[in-house]
Structure 1
């Protein structure tokens, strides 16, 4: 019977398990693997940058001097990437993001309007909408930084840590445990 199959549940909108960060990153990898060629949707400003496909680039993107993008990667419209930045494989960057000089981003998902400070490294993580990561920060694997979070400069977020939403993490903090805002749902488990 159609209604009792997984396909039937999905078609009716009853699928409510959002999954773990690892499963979300894996889904992103599958989506990025479908990019077959480098596809530039609109205007692209490159200043000595190198793009090794496959890469999907939205409209009005700026890539700074000596920046390298190694696909598969998708970059949304209106995103500005500074000089000497390295964007590694299996990275998805949303619309109107700003990535400052000397940042390194590997196998991560940045949602819309994220700002990543200079000399920051992000690896295997999810960065939600309107989040601001300061300079010289390190975001380790399987981390989720929720919406409208601010990480000040020199913050280290250890693996498998959750910070959300609307939290401000002071400069120089080493985050080893979840930081959750009491005004929001405090659950952070997934499948």
Structure 2
């Protein structure tokens, strides 16, 4: 069995961060989201992986390499434009051959992995098996309707009046029958080959399509609040370990991971939290559910429930919360006139300041 990982796409909901970075490489607890997916594929017993890449291909290749660090054998499959999930299957035909495969959207986050889905699919005789989870607002997702035996009897994309609360998670398993389906369908109104149309084609042409439910936690990390929530979930399970240097004037409590080379001086860190390698925390407070990336500097700062990416600095700024700070960013207190804000902000940013 093989795996097809989709790591293209623009990541428009995480702009401006994704103008300069692949959304699949935004870190959760200081590890790129894509890595969690690759590890889940490996842990399900799959080792041959094709990664579909687009505009951020160089960055994905640099981060993943040949896959050996994950115990995988990786092949890269360029996609000239984001032409739909079914188009990814179409262009991966040579790599996939006649083997069954799992298709994994690289910006999905599953705490308990996909071993259960893969095990249920193997030997089932199904042509497609769709991963589902119950959600509070199904109108924002692809939605599945089930028959009495768990078979898929209907699929809708972001319906105004959903027929169920079962959202389609971005992980699918397919038999080779799907190759005929993706060749048979035509582009949707938005000009893409939709995987839901391919699955419907299988259903209409005698294919066996079944469901499988998520065990544990799932998120599509398309928005800031999703990233922060995933970060919280992972940090709650980290093992505390101080591998850097903490001076005698600092206080560390709860689940706190401090990576090698990090220095904590005259500061308080309340876990769960992680401080990346070679970072310096001085006279600062790091509150729960915070990830500080590698080589960051915090001086006289107060940060909690946030993600700070590598090589960034926060100086003299209190009360920073529910924030995602990109790479090589400097956040500092404005000098001069009291009670003013001085900002240089990119397109599609969102900033909240106390009046």
Assess same fold via TM > 0.5.
yes
Greater fraction of residues in helix: 2
| Structure 2 counterpart SS, 1:51 | strand
2:292 to 90, 93, 104: 93
Say yes or no: does 1:45 pair with 2:246.
yes
Alpha-carbon separation, structure 1, partners of 2:278 and 2:326: 17
Say yes or no: does 1:74 pair with 2:260.
no
Say yes or no: does 1:23 pair with 2:226.
yes
Say yes or no: does 1:172 pair with 2:307.
no
Alpha-carbon separation, structure 2, partners of 1:123 and 1:30: 17
What is residue 315 of structure 2 aligned with on the other side? 117
* Deviation (angstroms), 1:153: 4.9
| Structure 1 counterpart SS, 2:172 | helix
Alpha-carbon separation, structure 2, partners of 1:48 and 1:3: 55
Q: Does the CA contact (< 8 Å) of 1:45 and 1:60 recur in 2?
A: no
Q: Sort the Cα spacing of 1:4 and 1:124 in 2 relative to 1 into closer, same or farther, 3 A.
A: same
How many positions carry a matched residue from both structures? 140
Alpha-carbon separation, structure 1, partners of 2:341 and 2:227: 27
Q: Could you give the per-residue CA deviations for residues 89-140 of structure 1, whole angstroms, max 9, x where no partner exists?
A: 0001000000002x110100000011001243311110010000012xxxxx
Q: CA RMSD in A?
A: 3.0
TM-score (norm. length: structure 1): 0.63
| Structure 2 counterpart SS, 1:99 | strand
Q: Max radius of gyration: which structure?
A: 2
* Deviation (angstroms), 1:57: 1.0
Say yes or no: does 1:56 pair with 2:257.
yes
What is residue 7 of structure 1 aligned with on the other side? 171
Q: Sort the Cα spacing of 1:118 and 1:174 in 2 relative to 1 into closer, same or farther, 3 A.
A: closer
Q: Sort the Cα spacing of 1:114 and 1:188 in 2 relative to 1 into closer, same or farther, 3 A.
A: closer
> Which consecutive unaligned segments of at least 5 residues does structure 2 have?
1-126, 132-169, 174-194, 196-219, 351-355
What is residue 166 of structure 1 aligned with on the other side? none
Query: Aligned ranges for residues 135-174 of structure 1 at < 5 Å?
Result: 135=333, 152-153=334-335, 172-173=340-341
Alpha-carbon separation, structure 2, partners of 1:122 and 1:108: 8
Alpha-carbon separation, structure 1, partners of 2:348 and 2:317: 32
Q: Sort the Cα spacing of 1:27 and 1:153 in 2 relative to 1 into closer, same or farther, 3 A.
A: farther
Alpha-carbon separation, structure 2, partners of 1:99 and 1:77: 13
* Deviation (angstroms), 1:76: 0.4
Alpha-carbon separation, structure 1, partners of 2:244 and 2:273: 17
Alpha-carbon separation, structure 2, partners of 1:2 and 1:173: 54
Q: Sort the Cα spacing of 1:121 and 1:34 in 2 relative to 1 into closer, same or farther, 3 A.
A: same
* Deviation (angstroms), 1:26: 0.6
Alpha-carbon separation, structure 1, partners of 2:223 and 2:342: 23
* Deviation (angstroms), 1:173: 2.8
| Structure 1 counterpart SS, 2:303 | strand
Alpha-carbon separation, structure 2, partners of 1:53 and 1:2: 44
Q: Sort the Cα spacing of 1:130 and 1:60 in 2 relative to 1 into closer, same or farther, 3 A.
A: same
Alpha-carbon separation, structure 1, partners of 2:236 and 2:264: 22
